[in-house]
Structure 1
């Protein structure tokens, strides 16, 4: 059966067991193109396992994973990244002892035949500066261009990581708890960044902050015990009695 062109990611009866324990059971997830889709649920619901399966950090025990209608079930993370699906905040192009500008130039080199030619003179890479500065401005880091990545405040480091992800020009961005460890100001800034970079892209994210999920997401999938409990808009899932019991209630008790 062909995948609907409206959906970028689709899983079909995706399951994962660990030594007999079923962490994910028969998950059928569809992520619509050019939307922000959130995956939520109480602790132990299988969110991280689903995310790792889709991003190919784990192989499913059974079922299929499709990207733009093509079966990517057995591919490796680098292979799906080359097809346009990139997992943000876990890529290797952020170097703590390089400046913000230098980090972006490294990330941009991935699109060039001379990728990672560190020994070339700076002048050979100056052609990347304009695009690098555009990305830096997009994530609000223009004033930090010359700062070492290691010296950035935590929330600004997340902005840099997001910029380096954008440098890869992904069609699909997968964000694993992008607000983890942030204060209110950084959460607001990062949420706005996600909204901005999601224009023309598809975003799938795992996030515990329900206020962020409510504000950003077009569609929310709720997991419980490794299975899909409910799916829909925030208004729909927040009024679902099963969701309130399994997730909302546990979050606000």
Structure 2
């Protein structure tokens, strides 16, 4: 399988503290790849480096064999590599339909024109309805986003992300703060949308990681501790020690 996203020697130093140290990563096209690790492992910093919200101290990032190391988040989004955030990023005062329709305006090739007439914006309704149904929010289409439960807000965020037509989705703790019912709903959604996309996700819920992931990279102290499928990772003594410590502690 081809490699869609690759990091080589990725390093980030903050005033003498090395948060990410020479990390290599390869994400295969069409897979769900999980990035896990104990608290303080450097996952968020590494994820922000990959999505260009931080610039690396050293190293190189390529997406579809194109060097994106110096690009902006907007630049990589235009290439089809789009991320979500730990905190749901939706417009609370707008309806579910309006949120997705704003994302679809990208297809016009112009700026996001909030002030455009309803007639102009309605051209996006059919596509918006499709994405909303895909994430299971059809019955909430005219509800204000701020009225949705936390899990449904996350589903709406995924719908707006999908509306950008990404080839690769980067999900930052998609299950954070969710009730079990919402976890099951979003897990099923991720599995469904990954059928024709590549997904890289940071996730703390190891049962979700075990259920969804084709491959897992484990970080600890800013370095790669282990990599493989869940069966191999779960048996690794180094991974077990990183998560639960040794018997002497």
TM-score by length of 2: 0.95
CA distance in 1, matches of 2:128, 2:13: 42
1:154-233 alignment, distance < 5 Å: 154-233=150-229
Cα gap change, 1:38 to 1:93, in 2 (>3 Å)? closer
Aligned residues of 1:222 and 1:228 also touching (Cα < 8 A): yes
Q: What's 1:37 paired with?
A: 33
Alignment counterpart, residue 20 of structure 2, candidates 21, 24, 31: 24
User: Residues 82-137 of structure 1: CA distance to partner in whole angstroms, max 9, x if unpaired?
Assistant: 11111124799721111101111111011113542333321222221111011000
Gaps of 5+ in 1: none
CA distance in 2, matches of 1:206, 1:157: 18
Q: What's 1:96 paired with?
A: 92
Superposed displacement of residue 18, structure 1: 0.7
Gaps of 5+ in 2: none
- Say what the alpha-carbon RMSD is for the aligned residues: 1.8
User: Residues 4-52 of structure 1: CA distance to partner in whole angstroms, max 9, x if unpaired?
Assistant: x711110111111111111111101000001000000011111111100
Aligned residues of 1:108 and 1:132 also touching (Cα < 8 A): yes
Aligned residues of 1:219 and 1:233 also touching (Cα < 8 A): yes
CA distance in 2, matches of 1:59, 1:49: 10
TM-score by length of 1: 0.93
Aligned residues of 2:19 and 2:221 also touching (Cα < 8 A): yes
User: Residues 37-87 of structure 1: CA distance to partner in whole angstroms, max 9, x if unpaired?
Assistant: 000001111111110000001111111011111111111111111111111
Aligned residues of 1:66 and 1:72 also touching (Cα < 8 A): yes
CA distance in 2, matches of 1:74, 1:46: 21
Aligned residues of 2:150 and 2:178 also touching (Cα < 8 A): yes
